[in-house]
Amino acid sequence: MTIRHRPVLRAVAAAAAGLVALAACGGPAPSGGGGDGTVSGEISLLTPIFEGADGAAVLEEQLAAFQAQYPGVTVKPDYTTYGKLNEKLTTSIASGQPYDVMLMGAGWIPPFAEKGVLADLGLEPAELGARYYERAVDAGVHEGKVYALPIMMDTRIGIYRKDLFAQAGITEPPKNFAELREYGKRLTQRAPDGTLQVAGLDVLGIDPRQAFLTMLWAAGGELFGPDGSPAFNSPAGVKALQTMADVIQVDRSEDVGWTTPNSPTGNVMAQGRAAMAVGHHHFWTQIQEEAPELIAEDKLGFFVITDERPAMFQGGTLATVSAQSKHPEAARALAEFLASEGPVLAANEQRGNIPSLKSLESSEFVQQNGAIQFAMQNFEHAHSEGGVPQWLEIRDKFKPAIESALLGQKSPQQALDDLAAEASAALAGR
Amino acid sequence: MSPEGTSAPVAPPVPSGPGPGRLGGAPRPGRILLHAVLVALSLAMVAPFVWMVLTSLKSHAEVMSYPPTILPSVWQWVNYPDALGFAPFGTYFRNSMVIAVSHTAINVALAAMAGYALARLPFRGRTPALVFVLAAMMIPTFTKIVPQYLLAKTMPFFGGNDFLGRGGSGWLDSWWALIVPGAVTPLAIFLFRQFYLSLPRELEEAARLDGLGEFGIFARVMTPLMKPAIATVALITFENSWNNFVWPLIVTRTDQLRVIQVGLAAFQQTERTLWEYLMAGTVLATVPMIVLFLFTQRYFVQGFATAGIK
Amino acid sequence: MAAPTAAPPATRAVAGAHRRSRPLGHERRRAAYLMLAPGMLHLAWWIGVPTVATFVLAFTRYDILAGTMAWAGLDNFVAIFRDPVWWTAVWNTVVYTFFTVPVAMAIAVVIAVLLNTNLRARAWYRTAVFMPHITATVAIALVWMWMFEPNIGLFNWVLSWFGVRGPAWTSDPAWAMTSVILMSVWKGIGLKMVIYLAALQGIPHDLYEAAEIDGAGPVRRFFAVTLPLLGPATFFVLVVSLIESFQVFEQFYVLTPEGGPAGSTTVMTYEIYKSAFQRFDMSVASAQSVVLFVFLLVLTIVGRRFTGRDDVA
């Protein structure tokens, strides 16, 4: 028995070792990244946007325009969802055949750039800042070099019901946390038996990390200090988290479980179950579909969350080029094309998101969307998350920490201090 | 008590209740109670599916209303063609069918053989082989997915690869990658083993005395008695394959080879989910499974396995 | 004898004539290897190689993005066991398994026995019980989220009839795990029932009749005849349920996303997913998988003790 099995085991072990070695050698492609100077070749594009038949049609249309400009280039798009983007990225990079152009989210640029996955686009941030919103450009910059071009952006802003404000005798959106809380209390409506009917201030409707970061920046705090160490457990951070926790625990302007991000039970503002929210600009599109009368009757208002300073959270999708691309010029051309007016407008129109180009502020699409207009006008207050190469390791630790404070399990100071400790460990490379 | 099963079955009139195949003569209250329990249970099991169907027939605004309506105020039958138009579901359906049927056929054939060998044929290394099969189920999918992808990509001589599997794309973007990796599952081998174990020795002995070789015994004597097991493996394999999402997504780069679940995932976007279309798509995607299940019901009928013994 | 007697192939008849009276181990062994080969080779390649790769990777620092690899010894294991989140995930997985598996198995076997009787419309009942298994988890989870909705959802509405203020279910750290367990038991009954149904077909009528003649009532018959003969099937269902339960992912991913409220419902597979596809750390994901593997191996061995010796054909 043993005699028969040993060769089998050896073969399997050899195969495994070979596999692992293959994976390790998967990084640098045999022919290197140097191109021949002309813009030609067949390039692959990985996109988590433009999904569905409609999305594909939009992209195909844009690619036709690209084809007209660069007849020597063929583009092969691979459609995926944001949810599975990482699986596609990992497998393609591990196999040594990454996509030439990859669209990805803002927080991923520094880690990917640091590890040599992305190509330096050789552009000047200042020059880009003239055409695109500076904050959007920043998301694609790592250590002074531009690795990504912004296409689409999303923001977290304050949203409120003008009619409910009027009913409560409030004339203007809150200008600081104190007013935020006070208005929240006044706007809350409960039935005699205590069941919540209208939440005065909804802080649970968007991702907890993004809600907290918005409040953190508004309180004057920062995610990381200039030396890269965690700065979110500063007094500003604690104030931000304390405010959020107090809204639920003390003011009782909202109950736990009232809503969740991307809730399948619907958008609280559309349903009239919240008078004010730390919300997503996309609520506009959702309200347009679910309760269009709110928009038609101009009952929706926007404000930037403010305390020490006004602050908007900003995320987005950017176009990057693989450092291992066999046709770098063609890939660069495609990336720049995708970040140009036509494709940017088409992509954002399809999804109801914010175009990255300043010139598109006057487009009809933007003019018809109150939330996007508002965001674009206030874009100088936008901040993005991330900025350190270890961001992907730290990012998922925020939600449990913030929720433990919101639920009253830990004090905000404790929760943030613990989180800072975990972040420091991750930054130090464990 | 171990009757040798030589006499014809006698069925004295007995009260009904748990226990196989009792015919007639049951007191009414017992039966009614049983049916009541089963109906309640069935409703509990089916209710979410009913809710899905109802949701698929509502407009988006109504799906998102609070409190939710039970019946649609306007029956949006148009959701179905709209959902189907959202992505090339015709192609996806065909692909899913091809893959699921292939997986089922291959798995049943190969796993039955392997399970039989593990159950009834003595050979050294039988226990390690069983342990190996069980162990093969113990690594989660996510962990296996990157190595499996690399294995598919480095298949020698395919997709422009040299003999060491370098240079090209191997099985990626082809039916090979979609069909072969999932064609045999340890679960099926294990299930067949357990079922083959429960067959009586006498059958085997008798067949051997009749001059059948091992393979003959397997194919002509034992396996025909395995219809419930085969049906079970078919159901499990088909369902697994049909609902598989991540693998078909990562080994293909073009829409032509993608499957239904990938299409359904397009309804779930980062900013929002198109629930009514997702439900419509899921309802349609569930229909083949229901049909398959109803079709296999006749194999779950008493008597199939024991027909040969007497 | 109902065994069909087709003529064996000519060559075999000749060889068989010599061996018929004393079946030699040779022929049976050779047949065994031939029958095992395709399936086992397939498993060895597509699952065995990745498994070995996982074990190897667990002892390295593999940066999949940068394409670098270095030996790390036990560092990964030390790191994961220092992480309190991992311990929470392990504990949650065990709790989840402990409540889901036995309950679903017990309900499934009773239902299978009930639906094995000559009942009218039993095909419909069986289909109904199987429905949860074949419907995609995402769609089902949506429905359950509505049922768990704290204000107007089904569960709290029913509780309100009794004057009880229901919890926030999936948003409440104390109840989130219970919510997922409820949904999982509901979902898990169908397949187990089918397997038990299949196994029940193999129990001969006569055994029940003999027991009846001996005076055993239906419940006694169940425990004395049915259950023991379901041994191999129960072992199968137990092992497979344990393995599936330890590798649960979808229900948690959809019902209580990102580890649940305050991280209270993170499970091992979710942590592995996070390591692999959010942090791009394949080494840690591999180490976590190895730990999961060891857990399952131990549980299977223990489970084997429970369901008795089933190796005897």
Write the pLDDT tens digit of every residue in A313-356.
999 999 999 999 999 999 999 999 999 999 999 999 988 999 99
Minimum CA–CA partner of C33 in chain B:
B117
Mean pLDDT (chain C) is 87
Query: What does the alpha-carbon distance between residue A301 and residue A269 come to, in Å, rounded to a whole number?
Result: 11
Query: What does the alpha-carbon distance between residue C192 and residue C300 come to, in Å, rounded to a whole number?
Result: 17
Query: What does the alpha-carbon distance between residue B309 and residue B121 come to, in Å, rounded to a whole number?
Result: 21
**pLDDT of C87:** 96
The token duo for B19 is 């226990």
List A residues 27-56 in contact with B (Cβ-Cβ < 8 A): 30, 44, 48, 51-54, 56
Percent with pLDDT over 90 in chain C: 58
Contact (CB, 8 A) for A376 and B296 = no
**pLDDT of C175:** 95
List A residues 145-204 in contact with B (Cβ-Cβ < 8 A): 154
Contact B124 A352 (CB under 8 A): no
Q: If you average pLDDT over residues C195-201, what whole number do you get?
A: 90
Q: If you average pLDDT over residues A230-251, what whole number do you get?
A: 96
Domain locations in chain B?
Answer: 44-77, 88-300
Picking from C183, C184, C304, the residue whose alpha carbon sits closest to that of residue C245 is C184
pLDDT one-digit tens code per residue, A180-233: 999 999 999 999 988 899 999 999 999 999 999 999 999 999 999 998 899 999
Q: How far is CA C226 from CA A186, B225, B230, in A?
A: 66, 19, 21
pLDDT one-digit tens code per residue, B214-250: 888 888 888 888 888 999 999 999 999 999 989 999 9
Query: What does the alpha-carbon distance between residue C164 and residue B4 come to, in Å, rounded to a whole number?
Result: 58
Minimum CA–CA partner of B165 in chain A:
A22
| A161, A282: one domain | yes
**pLDDT of C219:** 86
Residue A68 lies in a domain: yes
Of the candidates A53, A54, A289, the beta carbon closest to that of B61 is on A289
**pLDDT of B5:** 37
Task: Using the Cα atoms of residue B179, residue B181, residue B187 and residue B189 in order, give the sign of their dihedral.
Answer: positive
Helix axes of C282-306 and C49-57: crossing angle, nearest 10 degrees: 120
Q: Which domain holds residue C191?
A: 76-306
Q: Label residue A218 left, alpha or beta by phi (over 0 means left) and psi (-120 to 50 means alpha).
A: alpha
List the beta strands (DSSP E) in A148-285: 148-161, 189-190, 196-198, 276-280
Q: Is C145 on the interface with B (CB under 8 A)?
A: no
**pLDDT of C312:** 46
CA dihedral B123, B124, B130, B133 (to 10 degrees): -100
Q: What is the CATH number of the domain that holds C180?
A: 1.10.3720.10
The strand pairing partners of B241, in sequence order, are none
| A94, A188: one domain | no
Q: If you average pLDDT over residues A280-298, what whole number do you get?
A: 93
Q: How far is CA C192 from CA A38, A169, C189, C237, in A?
A: 62, 60, 5, 7
Q: If you average pLDDT over residues A135-159, what whole number do you get?
A: 94
Task: Using the Cα atoms of residue B256, residue B258, residue B260 and residue B261 in order, give the sign of their dihedral.
Answer: negative
Query: What does the alpha-carbon distance between residue A413 and residue A242 come to, in Å, rounded to a whole number?
Result: 8
**pLDDT of C248:** 93
| A74, A217: one domain | no
Contact (CB, 8 A) for C61 and C280 = no
Q: Is A24 on the interface with C (CB under 8 A)?
A: yes
Q: Which of A33-42, A273-282, B261-270 has the lowest mean pLDDT?
A: A33-42
Query: What does the alpha-carbon distance between residue C265 and residue C174 come to, in Å, rounded to a whole number?
Result: 10
The token duo for C55 is 């074990």
CATH architecture of the domain B88-300 equals Orthogonal Bundle (1.10)
pLDDT one-digit tens code per residue, A352-374: 999 999 999 999 999 999 999 99
User: Is the pLDDT higher at B215 or at A25?
Assistant: B215
The strand pairing partners of A160, in sequence order, are A276, A301
Q: Is C278 on the interface with A (CB under 8 A)?
A: yes
Picking from A330, A316, A323, A320, the residue whose alpha carbon sits closest to that of residue A76 is A330
Pairing of strands C60-63, C68-71: antiparallel
| A54, A80: one domain | yes
pLDDT one-digit tens code per residue, C110-148: 999 989 888 888 888 999 999 999 888 888 888 898 889
Place of tokens 């190689």: C49
Q: Which domain holds residue A332?
A: 33-154+315-383
| A403, A374: one domain | no
pLDDT one-digit tens code per residue, C3-59: 344 444 444 445 444 545 455 678 788 888 899 999 999 999 999 999 999 999 999
The token duo for B138 is 């113990």
Q: Which of A349-358, C146-155, C289-298 has the lowest mean pLDDT?
A: C146-155
Q: How many domains does chain C have?
A: 1
The SS3 of residue A61 is: helix
To the nearest whole angstrom, how far is the Cα of A377 from the nearest Cα of chain C? 33
Q: What is the CATH number of the domain that holds A419?
A: 3.40.190.10
| A133, A164: one domain | no
Task: Using the Cα atoms of residue C198, residue C202, residue C203 and residue C204 in order, give the sign of their dihedral.
Answer: positive
Residue C50 lies in a domain: no
Contact B154 A22 (CB under 8 A): yes
To the nearest whole angstrom, how far is the Cα of B168 from the nearest Cα of chain C? 19
All residues at 6 or more sequence positions from A37 whose CB lies less than 8 Å from its CB, including other chains = A329
Q: How many domains does chain A have?
A: 2
Q: Is A27 on the interface with C (CB under 8 A)?
A: yes
Buried b / exposed e across B91-104, counting CB within 10 Å, b at 16+?
Answer: bbbebbbebbbbbb
Picking from A313, A202, A332, A205, the residue whose alpha carbon sits closest to that of residue A254 is A202
Contacts of C111 in chain B (CB under 8 A): 41
| A167, A140: one domain | no
**pLDDT of C309:** 56
A12: pLDDT confidence band, cut at 50, 70 and 90?
Answer: low
Could you report the predicted ipTM of this complex, rounded to two decimals? 0.89
- Helix count and strand count (H, E) for chain A: 19, 14
Query: What does the alpha-carbon distance between residue B260 and residue A292 come to, in Å, rounded to a whole number?
Result: 33
Query: What does the alpha-carbon distance between residue A221 and residue A237 come to, in Å, rounded to a whole number?
Result: 6
Residue A400 lies in a domain: yes
Residue A296 lies in a domain: yes
List B residues 123-152 in contact with C (Cβ-Cβ < 8 A): 123-124, 126-127, 129, 132-144, 146-148, 151
**pLDDT of B19:** 46
Contact (CB, 8 A) for A253 and A184 = yes
Task: Using the Cα atoms of residue B75, residue B78, residue B84 and residue B86 in order, give the sign of their dihedral.
Answer: negative
Picking from A170, A131, A166, A169, the residue whose alpha carbon sits closest to that of residue A150 is A131
Helix axes of B89-120 and B186-197: crossing angle, nearest 10 degrees: 40
Residue C275 lies in a domain: yes
State which amino acid sits at residue B1: M
Q: Is C13 on the interface with B (CB under 8 A)?
A: yes
| A395, A348: one domain | no
- For every residue of C259-300, DSSP letters joined together read GSGGGTT--HHHHHHHHHHTS-BHHHHHHHHHHHHHHHHHHH
* Beta-carbon-side half-sphere exposure of residue B254 (alpha carbons within 13 Å): 10
Spans of chain B below 70 pLDDT: 1-27, 302-310
Picking from B107, B137, B120, B119, the residue whose alpha carbon sits closest to that of residue B230 is B107
The strand pairing partners of A224, in sequence order, are A230
- Does C231 have pLDDT greater than 70? yes
Which residue, A353, A368, A383, sits at the end of a domain? A383
Query: What does the alpha-carbon distance between residue B156 and residue B138 come to, in Å, rounded to a whole number?
Result: 28
Rounded to 5°, angle at Cα B107 from B106 and B112: 110
Residue C71 lies in a domain: no
Q: Is B156 on the interface with A (CB under 8 A)?
A: no
Residue C68 lies in a domain: no
Contacts of B167 in chain A (CB under 8 A): 30
**pLDDT of B9:** 40
List the beta strands (DSSP E) in A37-138: 41-47, 73-79, 101-105
All residues at 6 or more sequence positions from C20 whose CB lies less than 8 Å from its CB, including other chains = B208, B209, B211
Residue C28 lies in a domain: no
Radius of gyration of chain B (CA): 25
Contact A5 B272 (CB under 8 A): no
